[in-house]
Amino acid sequence: MKLEKIDIRGVQVCNVTLEGAVDYISEQLRNDIPTAVYTPNAEIVQLCIDNPSYYSIINSAELIVPDGVGVIKAAKILGTPLREKVAGVVLGERVLQLAAKENYPVFLFGGKDASRCEAGQSVADQCKNMMEKKYPGLNIIGTQDGYCKKEGPENDKTIEAVNASGASILFVCLGAPLQEKWIWENRDRMPGVKLFLGLGGSLDIYSGNTKRAPKIFIKLGLEWFYRLCCEPWRIKRMMQLPKFYFGTKSYKRKLKNKKTTK
């Protein structure tokens, strides 16, 4: 399946709906085509603008979906609107449903280890328990918390564990851009994995440790505000949002001026 890509300040975002993204993933899995899925928001696009070396990492994914109103607004400003926001956490859950239905074994990598969790169990293990109950037939064949080293011998162990598990789907939930960089650096070492998903804090949500914003916030495009109220430490990262928004407006103005002076 060929995807239409839209250039958002240098990041090649796919113009898909949630259903389109699920169909694409399902077809890639059926055809055994290795696929990475990234879900950039405005912060990540701004990170690429500020550090252009990230472009090749982010743009290396086969499926890049817009996870955030910032990216959707930017697409409108640029005159190339995207169909809809595709939230990574929702897409990830659809992938779990697909895995349960089609018998794809899943490995979960990321989230806090047991010593940092009140439940005395890592977030990934809590997530395994909850999701296997919620989706009968789902086989979460392995888990690894995200607080191990991401390079050297400790990282080799993570990769060996994934390979030994026989997983064909790997959730990498380390937060952006760490997870995208990790997938980019390591995907070729896991030939059995056909689908790599970089999904930030999704395991925290599936395991019930973090709540997603109420529907009204999501509908009004204010999920970021809800997250900020719950986790005020995000303020520094979120300052990237206005920088990206106004930067995109001025970028568009410059593009227009260039056209009219030609």
User: Applying CB under 6 A, which residues contact ligand UDP?
Assistant: 110-112, 146-147, 173-176, 200-201, 203-204
* 112/128 with CB nearer ligand UDP: 112
Query: What is the C-alpha to C-alpha distance for residues 123 and 145, in angstroms, rounded to an integer?
Result: 7
* 29/176 with CB nearer ligand UDP: 176
Q: Rounded to the nearest whole angstrom, what is the least distance from the CB of residue 237 to ligand UDP in the complex?
A: 8
Query: What is the C-alpha to C-alpha distance for residues 225 and 53, in angstroms, rounded to an integer?
Result: 29
Q: Rounded to the nearest whole angstrom, what is the least distance from the CB of residue 103 to ligand UDP in the complex?
A: 27
User: Which residue reads 């303020």 in tokens?
Assistant: 235
Give, to the nearest 10 degrees, the angle between helix 69-77 and helix 223-230.
140
* 114/252 with CB nearer ligand UDP: 114
Query: What is the C-alpha to C-alpha distance for residues 106 and 94, in angstroms, rounded to an integer?
Result: 13
* 26/202 with CB nearer ligand UDP: 202
Q: Rounded to the nearest whole angstrom, what is the least distance from the CB of residue 136 to ligand UDP in the complex?
A: 26
Q: Rounded to the nearest whole angstrom, what is the least distance from the CB of residue 180 to ligand UDP in the complex?
A: 10
* 71/176 with CB nearer ligand UDP: 176
**Are residues 184 and 160 in contact, defined by beta-carbon separation less than 8 angstroms?**
no
Query: What is the C-alpha to C-alpha distance for residues 243 and 126, in angstroms, rounded to an integer?
Result: 37
Q: Rounded to the nearest whole angstrom, what is the least distance from the CB of residue 206 to ligand UDP in the complex?
A: 11
For 233, residues 6+ apart whose C-beta sits below 8 A from its C-beta are none
